Amino acid sequence: MAPTLEKAFDLRVYLDKDNAVRLGTIKGGPQRTYAPVGSGGYLRGSGVDAEIIPKGADSVLVDMASGTAHLDVRCAFRSKEGDNFYLYYTGIVRLDEKLGLLFTFSPEVETTKSSDHYFVTTPTIEVSNEEHKWMERTIFVSHGHVYVEGDRLAVEYEMYKNSNIPSTQHPTNQQQPAVGQAQQPLVRQNRAATAAAASTSPTLQIQLQNQTKSNQVWAYITGQALDNNNALFLLQSDARTPYYPPSPSSTGQPLNANCAIPLGGPGNTVNATIPRIAGGRIWFSQDATLKFFVNPGPGLVEPSIFNPADPNINTNFAFCEFTYNQYELFANISYVDFVSALPIALTVKDNSGATRHVSGMGPNGLTQVAQGLQAQTAKDTRRWSSLIVSRNNQPLRILSPNSGILLNPSWFGTYWNAYVDQVYAQYSTKPYTINTQAQFGNVTGQVSNNTFKFGNSTFAKPSAKDIFGCNTGPFATGSNIETNAIIPRLSAAFNRSTLLLSNSYPNSVQPAQYYQNQTTNHYARLVHAANLDGHGYAFPYDDVTPDGGVGQEGSISSGSTASFLVAVGGNNAYAA
């Protein structure tokens, strides 16, 4: 029987835009915004009239490459009768110009209609009153739009329930057991379906494996606990006890728990257990433990390669990134900021038995990249070898060009100028087409007056900082969603030096053609060459891939994880 939808509730949630936290680009591409909710709102319908309780949260992950935003919202309501309602919903939004104004909190945002957008969520409701327990056994779907009231900004939803599936109907519509007949248990499958395909376990086991030659290796796991109101999370040294730091009264306070997980000797594996985590990182250090601090909020002060006064600046450390939510595990290795002397490899096995593997570098990967950069400097006299950071006359880490420019703005100042001039000259007489791989399809541009114009999207000549960093100058994202879909592909084409090879991108150029021009991102070229499978984020939009092609970013995902192995050190590394 096909489900029939029946209107159940109206939901309005006001956003606290003044206290929103915009984290910007994470995991090499998507952008995270965190907005508190609870400054006003309601849940009304089906005999319920409840007002929102402050301190909810709206976490939005905006993926400019696909033109979508992924919602993760948690809020609570209380009725005049004292009944409590907890709402948790995820959703998918296809970005358009009007919603672009919402997600950037633009003063030009206006009230819209649900019919204006693809703005769909799947709420789960938990309740305190037995009278409303039918909501916990009901599948809901809602369609949203923007609501503006003066200087207040909200999202509104029409929430619908499945009305013709017996196991999800209101109990007053169900047949009651006869006197003396046993009450049948609730059908638990419907509770799982209500959670929007929440197929993952509330906890995840991670195998942390020491593949160095040292007995002095530690791991740390940090992130936001999704099932604990996005609280700041660290795992304690026993690899199973959560630590939720309280908010201190002043900045730079040490942790009040030991969160350094000793990995034991070479080849040893430690099993760690974590809850669902967003914005997660697994850190490793060798020969010395890392120092983390807490600021009011609480906010975690992580080890930094940019601050010369950071107590971890001379420590050999590395990290990989991951998210484990109700849908899937997603993890990647990253060289966007630097290459470490501690290579990381990832392996995930599904319940189906399928295995995905990211190889990382071998134990001499850092040395290989360092030698390549020194050879490149000898060839073109640019500052490639200056990216190598040494300790005791041995390479400790290698900065990415973007990190190098942040510390030394004069580095690579004119490096891209001649190549950019060639590109702009070539496309002043013929068009260039970018497949946005989103709802905008192919967009065609041409250069006029030293500006690359794709419809309403314009790109002035980028500098070295703009190209290596992918987020400044003409590559800074804004409220124009089409522009935001072009930026990843155009900046990737510059980093990979493919613009003179073909008049379209990304589908007409293959990975074997990347980095072939003498002016290119040689750091990215050498990093990919040093990875045993050629994969790993070397610049922020390194996940731009031809349709049907193999991604270059070194990521894995699984919706039914049986095991997750994270190995550090590079020994016994292999290409799958």
Write down the pLDDT at residue 187.
27
Is residue 190 pLDDT above 60, yes or no? Answer: no
What residues does CATH 2.60.110.10 cover in the chain? Answer: 203-366+554-568
Question: How does pLDDT run across 513-556, given as a tens digit for each residue?
Answer: 999 999 999 999 999 999 999 999 999 999 999 998 888 999 99
**Average pLDDT for residues 454-477, to the nearest whole number?**
95
Q: Quick one: pLDDT at residue 21?
A: 67
- C-alpha span between 334 and 358 (Å, rounded): 11
Strands 344-350 and 432-435: unpaired
CB 517 within 8 A of CB 497: yes
pLDDT of residue 3: 58
For the chain, residues classed under CATH 2.40.160.20 are 5-166
Mean pLDDT of 482-507: 95
Per CATH, the architecture of 5-166 is what?
Beta Barrel (2.40)
**DSSP three-state, residue 9:** strand
At 430, the pLDDT band (50, 70, 90 cuts) reads very high
Beta bridge partners, 361, equal 531
Superfamily classification of domain 393-530:
Beta-1,3-glucanase, C-terminal domain (3.30.920.50)
Instruction: At 78, list the tokens.
Output: 């209380």
Write out pLDDT tens, residues 362-394: 999 999 999 999 999 999 999 999 999 999 999
Percent of the chain with pLDDT over 90: 63
Question: H or E element: which one contains 379?
Answer: helix 365-380
Looking up tokens 């005049």, which residue turns up?
80
* Sequence-separated (6 or more) residues with CB below 8 Å from residue 354: none
3-state secondary structure of 543: coil
CA angle, 383 then 527 then 508, to 5°: 105
User: What's the sign of the alpha-carbon dihedral 558, 564, 568, 570?
Assistant: negative
pLDDT of residue 135: 87
Q: Is residue 26 pLDDT above 80, yes or no?
A: no
pTM above 0.85, yes or no: no
Taking 90 as the threshold, does the pLDDT of residue 338 lie above it? yes
| Residue range 124-153, pLDDT digits in tens | 898 888 888 888 888 888 999 999 888 888
Angle, in degrees to the nearest 10, between helices 522-530 and 365-380: 150
Pair 89, 512: CB distance under 8 Å = no
Q: Phi first, then psi: what are they for 33, rounded to 5°?
A: -125, 135
Evaluate if residue 206 carries a pLDDT over 50: yes
Weakest-pLDDT range from 50-59, 208-217, 275-284: 50-59
Higher-pLDDT residue of 251, 424:
424
CATH 2.60.110.10 fits 203-366+554-568, yes or no: yes
With a cut of 70, say whether residue 312 has pLDDT above it.
yes
